[in-house]
Each structure stands twice: as C-alpha cells, then as structure tokens.
Structure 1
Amino acid sequence: MPIRIPDHLPARKTLEQEGVMVMDSSRAARQDIRPLQIGLLNLMPNKERTETQFARLIGSTPLQIDMTLVRITDHQSKHTSEDYLKTFYSTWEEVRERKFDGLIVTGAPIANIPFEEVKYWSEMLEIMNWTETNVHRTMFICWGAQAALHHFHGAKRYRMPQKAFGVFRHKLVGGPNPWLRGFSDSPMIPVSRYNDIDRDSLGDDLEILIDNEEIGLCMLRDKARPALYMLNHLEYDNRSLADEYDRDVKAGLNPEMPTNLFPGGDPTVEPENRWRSHAHLLFQNWINEIYQTTPYDPAQIGLVKQSP
C-alpha cells in the first residue's frame, strides 16, 4: 500500500523516483480501510531532507498510511521558509486534539544546550506528556530520544570525549522482541552525536536493545510506556554523514573523517549505504506492531492501557 503525503510536497518526486508508492487524497478515500495515522514531529533545520528520509521508510510498508508533518508551534525556522511550513506542516497546537497511531520525534541540532534552556522546552514537555494519551506508539530519535529519556526516566546525559561520527557496528543485546525481527546480530548503524546516556542512571523500566561498547547506547525499549528510544540514525541517506563532514571542512572546523563511511577512507569516493536494509526492517516492524495493536476506532487511543 502507498503512503499518503501532501500532494505537492517536494519529497513526493524523490519517493516516486525510488519506487515508493505515493497516494493522493481522492484515491485514498476510495479504499475501504482505515489508514494508520503517523505523525512526524520534525525538529531538524533541513525539513525537506528529513521528511524525505522518514517518508521513504514509512512508505515501504504494505499498509496505507497518512503521514502528518508537525512542527513546534512558536519556533521560527532559520532554514525553512514560513510559506513552506504553512503549506506542508501543522503546528502541534493544531494537532493536539487529534489521536495518532504512531509518532516519530526527530533529533535536533542543539546537543550542547541543557534541556531546560532550549527555547521550546516547555512545549516539548507538553508534547511528551501528550504522547501518553494521544499516541499509540512513539519513536524518539537522537536528541528527541535523549530529551524523552531525561523527562520520563531522569536519565543523565553526558558529553563524550569526542564526537561519535561515522558508521559503527553494533550488537543486539536485548531479549527476543518484535522491533528487531529480522536484524542481523551486528548491524552497521550511522552515528552523529556528542552525547551519550549514563548507563548508571537507567532504571529497570528500560531495556537496552542495541548497544556499542565503544560509542555507547543505540536503542532502548520503555517497559512502562509504548515508546522506543533510538539514539542513532538508521534513517540517514547515503550522503547525510558525508555532507555533514563537507560542511564542517568548509567551515574550517578540521573535523575527523567519519569512521567506516568512505570506501578506502577516501572522501572523494561516494559512500556506500550499509544500513538501508536494517532501516527498513526497523520501521516495518514498528509499523506492523502498531497495526496489530492499535484500536480500530482512533478515539480509543490512550483510553485503554496497552502493553509497552
């Protein structure tokens, strides 16, 4: 089945070129099924690139999905025009009365700012609390995961001696679970972050699912609520890390070359994507779990206690 996104969203052309089926509103209305309602709270500055990355993965499921793009209500984007945001995005205030089968909260480039000093932290607190009553299952990514772990569990974040930057081999360490069904034992996963979570600050209501002894935690499951916390970036496309490296080189920051990204360690050679299959597996597994467990009547989301 296709994914339904706004008709003129720039991501549509990219997705169609890649063979992802995209549906318009009139065709969706003729199908006698309830589409899953998936929200994407996009906190990244490059909205178009980020929404394309996630739509690519969400759109590969065999289910019909309506994806709603959501942004912080009062935050002014420096990299995306207000016309673009008004055309394709809803503010959280505009969707807060809605129910969603799934919500993805992205990362944000504010790693060095204490959570409480983030300009939109008060709204983030409201959104995170809102997920417990209005969202069936939530996936928090990168900074979004750090923020949610801090808010819900009091987990402590600390700055690592150096930035974890590149594509690293990880290990599956949790017990059997539906989220990682089909994963190999040691997947390669893109990483770009300065911070990690202090393991000693994690309580028994969190289970580590993917880990790396060198660069830290990757993915955790919440035992108390239906949420996943992914600290790294399976959604990244081939050039996400390479473009970040090129940007920092041009800015004169003398960055370390991303680990295991460029073939032969040569930044003039295009990167190879060695994580794409696991990215699709994770999101298909997540969406399948949503489909199997979400109420048919969206109004019932949040009213019946569910297994996390």
Structure 2
Amino acid sequence: MAPIRIGILNLMHDKVATQQRFERLLKQAGQPVSVTFFYPVSHYADRPVPELVAKISLPLDLKQATAMDGFIITGAPVENLAYDEVEYIDEVRNLIDALNQAHVVQLYVCWGAMVAANYLYGVGKHRLAKKYFGVFENQVVAPDPLLTNIPRIFLAPHARYAELNEEQIGANLTVTARSKEGYLTSARGSEGQSFLFAHLEYGQNALLEEYQREIAAHPERHYQRPSHYFQDEVAMKDPRFGWQKTQAQYFDNWVRLVAAERSIKVCKIG
C-alpha cells in the first residue's frame, strides 16, 4: 500500500522541534505515512529564506499541497495580530481554498484553527486578558471522530493569547471539546475540517521550552508560567506529560480518518 501523504505548513517558531513532533506522531499511528513540510513563500518575500528552513521544508506550492491525502496548518506566534496584518495571510487563505476544492482532509492547530474558522465560517477572535498557558482538564461535549477512544475528561496543553468569539459560532462549526475553564479545545466544521485549539502535538518539555524562549526574547517582560505542569511548581522542574496517551490516540484517529477518506476517493475513481 502506498504511504498516506501528509502535508504540513509549519508556521511555528521552533521549526525543527515542530517537525520532529508531528513526524513522530504521524508515523507511529500504525500505517505507512510520508510527511512533507512546507513554508509560506510570502513570509520571505523581502529577505532570503533561512538556510535551515530551506533545508527541512519546501516552498508552499498549491499543486503539491492538493496532491496530499491530508494537510495540517500549525499554530503561529501571531495570534495577537489582526489576520490582515499577517504577511502570509493571503497564502494561507489560498491554501485553505485549494484544500477544500480538492477535498483534502484538513487539521488546523491553534492559530491555524483560528484563521481557518475565521476564513471558512466567519468567526472572529479576541485577545485574552492573559495567556492561557498550561495543562488543563478538557471535556468532550459533542461527537468527533478524532476524539474516539479518548476519555470524556482528558488533559491537554494550551498555549495561546487569543480565543474565538464564541457568540459568532454558527451551525457550520460544532465545538466538540472545551477546557474546564470554558476555553475551546476542539471543533468540527460542517465540511469535515478538524480544528484543534490545544497543542496536543506538544511533547513533555514543550511548554517549558516555549516559556524559556519568550523569556529569552524579552527578559524585561513578565510572562505567564505554565499552570498545572510541573511536579515542582516553585522551581519549575519535572514537567508532567499527562496528555501522552491522548496525544497518541488523537493523531492515530486523524491518520485513520485520512486513510478512510483516501480509500473512498480511490473507490470513486475506480
């Protein structure tokens, strides 16, 4: 059987770590998978593409993207910006259009989920009073194929400065899980798109590394520490990995969904 082809537009700060996380999770799902990473060309319109980025990913090409069986758009450190202020927003919107027209299975994560919900279903976002950051309890509130075999109450890491305007969510977008504090965890679009607002792809140390990266970039600012995460909260030591089983199940479910949709396409062509 030919490998399931997954494309990923990697918009995260930590390019290498992000690629390693997704590749590991997708390839451990129990089915042959090939993963291709892309970068937004417009992000480097006025400067050279960094050598590392060019080495580990390809320039986004819609023809290549729509040849994939499934596609993921990651989070991005731009949720405090208005969508039209993001330099690669047109490229992302064109990609979403192309994926829908080609009936490619889609998974949108964190900022990727926000921008897709806005573009596809007109749902805006608002800035939070403080970063929602840490490991929180979440509850399944509606059926979702990606939450199959996941406990009704489960842990997941969240890391974001913004949230969708829920009063704008209509019948075309169904919230399928939310955190104990009421924040969005996942949703399902009427056309089958999956929206993940938590960072279930994060490994054990990812929240700590994100906090350290923010502190290093702006040591003069106060940054929210990740909550409910460390065994030693005072010293910020020994991160817990309470979402590991949920993580594996979620991405296994998604790969199975992609495989099933590919089989349907093959049958129709045949």
Do the two structures share a fold, i.e. TM-score over 0.5?
A: yes
Q: Is this contact kept in 2: 1:61–1:284, CA < 8 A?
A: yes
Task: Give the Cα separation in 2 of the matches to 1:170 and 1:297.
Answer: 34
Gaps of 5+ in 1: 1-32, 304-308
Task: Establish whether residue 207 from structure 1 lines up as the match of residue 207 from structure 2.
Answer: no
The size of the alignment, in residue pairs, is 265
* Superposition deviation, residue 249 in structure 1: 3.9
Tell me what 1:253 maps to: 221
Gaps of 5+ in 2: none
CA RMSD of aligned residues (A): 2.2
Q: Which of the numbers 82, 85, 88 marks the counterpart of 1:117?
A: 85
Q: Which of the numbers 243, 247, 268 marks the counterpart of 2:209?
A: 243
Q: Which amino acid aligns with 1:178?
A: P
Q: Is this contact kept in 2: 1:165–1:258, CA < 8 A?
A: yes
Summarize the Cα distance change of 1:60–1:194 in structure 2 as closer, same or farther, 3 Å threshold.
Answer: same
Tell me what 2:242 maps to: 274
Q: Is this contact kept in 1: 2:232–2:238, CA < 8 A?
A: no
Tell me what 2:8 maps to: 40
Task: Give the Cα separation in 2 of the matches to 1:262 and 1:173.
Answer: 28
Task: Establish whether residue 232 from structure 1 lines up as the match of residue 198 from structure 2.
Answer: yes
Tell me what 1:218 maps to: 185
Q: Is this contact kept in 2: 1:68–1:89, CA < 8 A?
A: yes
The C-alpha deviation readout for 1:127-155, integer Å capped at 9, x for no partner, is 11011123521000000000000000000
Task: Give the Cα separation in 2 of the matches to 1:245 and 1:291.
Answer: 36
Task: Give the Cα separation in 1 of the matches to 2:6 and 2:206.
Answer: 24
* Matched ranges for 1:1-308 at <5 A: 33-76=1-44, 82-93=50-61, 95-96=63-64, 98-175=66-143, 177-223=144-190, 225-250=191-216, 251-295=219-263
Query: Scaled by the length of structure 1, what TM-score is found?
Result: 0.80
* Superposition deviation, residue 291 in structure 1: 1.1
Task: Give the Cα separation in 1 of the matches to 2:253 and 2:152.
Answer: 16
The C-alpha deviation readout for 1:25-46, integer Å capped at 9, x for no partner, is xxxxxxxx11111001101122
Summarize the Cα distance change of 1:262–1:201 in structure 2 as closer, same or farther, 3 Å threshold.
Answer: same
Summarize the Cα distance change of 1:154–1:97 in structure 2 as closer, same or farther, 3 Å threshold.
Answer: closer
Query: Scaled by the length of structure 2, what TM-score is found?
Result: 0.91
> Is the radius of gyration larger for structure 1 or structure 2?
1
Q: Which amino acid aligns with 2:129?
A: P
Task: Give the Cα separation in 2 of the matches to 1:249 and 1:104.
Answer: 28
The C-alpha deviation readout for 1:44-103, integer Å capped at 9, x for no partner, is 1221010011111101112111111111123239xx963333333221127447411100
Summarize the Cα distance change of 1:296–1:85 in structure 2 as closer, same or farther, 3 Å threshold.
Answer: farther
Q: Is this contact kept in 2: 1:166–1:192, CA < 8 A?
A: yes
Give the 3-state SS of the residue equivalent to 1:191 in structure 2.
strand
Q: Is this contact kept in 1: 2:10–2:18, CA < 8 A?
A: yes
Give the 3-state SS of the residue equivalent to 1:294 in structure 2.
helix
* Superposition deviation, residue 111 in structure 1: 1.3
Q: Which amino acid aligns with 2:2?
A: R
Task: Give the Cα separation in 1 of the matches to 2:3 and 2:206.
Answer: 30
The C-alpha deviation readout for 1:156-192, integer Å capped at 9, x for no partner, is 20112211011010111003x3211111111111011
State the identity %: 24
Task: Give the Cα separation in 2 of the matches to 1:248 and 1:65.
Answer: 33
Task: Give the Cα separation in 2 of the matches to 1:186 and 1:103.
Answer: 27
